[in-house]
Structure 1
Amino acid sequence: MSGFLLNVLLAVVWALLSGDVNLRELGVGFGLGYLLLRLFPDALGTRAYQRASVALLRFLGTFLRELTVANVQVALLALRARPNLNAMIFSVPLRPHTDLSLTLLTATVTLMPGSVVLGFDAGRTRMYMHGIGLASPDEARAGVKNVERLLLDFLPAPAGGRGGAA
């Protein structure tokens, strides 16, 4: 049984034992189940689930921070009398991706204000983007590569075995 399903099962058991099956009890049960799985990852076979859930939280935290920073930067550009947009089109080399991870990477990067994914090369090894308000293409590439690394940490590796969580 996967770690996530075991965690959901523990949450349901908690809610049933509490006598009141509602969202609050399920949430408390999920949290307590997660702590239990965290305490005994080898015995319960949930080490990969733990690693993936921590990577997911790291990705979400980074995404929210970057989204906030990008919103402030674009707002400041819009409020300037003579904004220096410094618009550029650049490419970013990509690690191997599944369809899901490529879609999530594209959606995540496009959600950032001031950046748009334009497309990919035929082999899906390079992503072309448009961005504004960036100091250099290298800075932009580094930001996208960071998002890609965090994303691939919690998603399954492509069938070729390269990329993804190590």
Structure 2
Amino acid sequence: MNGLALNVLLAIVWALFSGEVSLRELVVGFLIGFLILRLFPRALGTGAYVSRSLALLRFLAFFVRELTTANVQVALFALRPRPPLNPMIVAVPLHLHGDTAHTILAAVLGLMPGSVTLGFNPERTVIYAHVVGVESPSAARASILRVQEALRPLFPPPPAQEARA
């Protein structure tokens, strides 16, 4: 049984034992179940589920922080009489692998105020983005690389194919 299914099962069992099947009891049961899965990952075989769930929570916290910062910066630009927009297009090497990871990276960059994803090169090794309000191209690249690093635990690289003799 995979980790998510076991966590949902533990939440349902908790709600049934509490005598009230409600959203609150299911959430409490889900959190208690996650704690149990976190305490005994080897015995239950849920190590990958727990680590990916925690990586997702870290990424969501990172995204909310970055989104808030970007929105404040855009609001400050809007309040200036002559904002230094400094528009530029930057190319950033991709460290993520897979179409899903690339799509999520492009979507996250598109959600950030002041940045728009333009596309990828044909080999899917570089992402192009239009950014506004950043002092230099290196600062823009560093910002996009930070987003990639935050996404990296969610999308581990594929295992290397072993050479067959």
With normalisation by structure 1, the TM-score equals 0.91
Partner of 1:108: 108
SS in 2 for 1:135: coil
Is residue 11–residue 29 contact of structure 1 (8 Å, CA) maintained in 2?
Answer: yes
Is residue 90–residue 137 contact of structure 2 (8 Å, CA) maintained in 1?
Answer: yes
SS in 1 for 2:133: coil
2:22 maps to 1:27: no
Distance 2:157 2:140 in 1: 25
Partner of 1:38: 38
Is residue 51–residue 154 contact of structure 1 (8 Å, CA) maintained in 2?
Answer: no
The root-mean-square deviation of aligned C-alpha atoms, in Å, is 1.6
Is residue 92–residue 141 contact of structure 1 (8 Å, CA) maintained in 2?
Answer: yes
* 1:88-107 Cα distance to aligned partner (Å, 9 max, x none): 11111002422211111111
Question: What are the ranges of 5 or more consecutive residues in structure 2 without an aligned counterpart?
Answer: none
SS in 1 for 2:91: strand
What is the 5 A alignment of 1:65-144?
65-144=65-144
With normalisation by structure 2, the TM-score equals 0.91
Is residue 105–residue 147 contact of structure 1 (8 Å, CA) maintained in 2?
Answer: yes
Q: How much identity, in percent, do the aligned residues show?
A: 58
Distance 1:84 1:146 in 2: 23
Aligned length: 161
Distance 2:68 2:160 in 1: 34
SS in 2 for 1:116: strand
Partner of 1:16: 16
* 1:64-121 Cα distance to aligned partner (Å, 9 max, x none): 0000000000111111101110111111100242221111111111100000001110
**Letter of the 2:25 counterpart:** E
**Letter of the 1:59 counterpart:** F
* 1:115-148 Cα distance to aligned partner (Å, 9 max, x none): 0001110011100000011111111111211211
Distance 2:12 2:154 in 1: 25
After the TM superposition, which segments of 4 or more aligned residues of structure 1 sit over 4 Å from their partners?
A: none
Displacement of 1:19 in angstroms is: 2.2
Pair 161,6 (structure 1): closer, same or farther in 2 beyond 3 Å: farther
Is residue 109–residue 144 contact of structure 2 (8 Å, CA) maintained in 1?
Answer: yes
Distance 1:157 1:60 in 2: 20
**Letter of the 1:11 counterpart:** A
SS in 2 for 1:82: coil
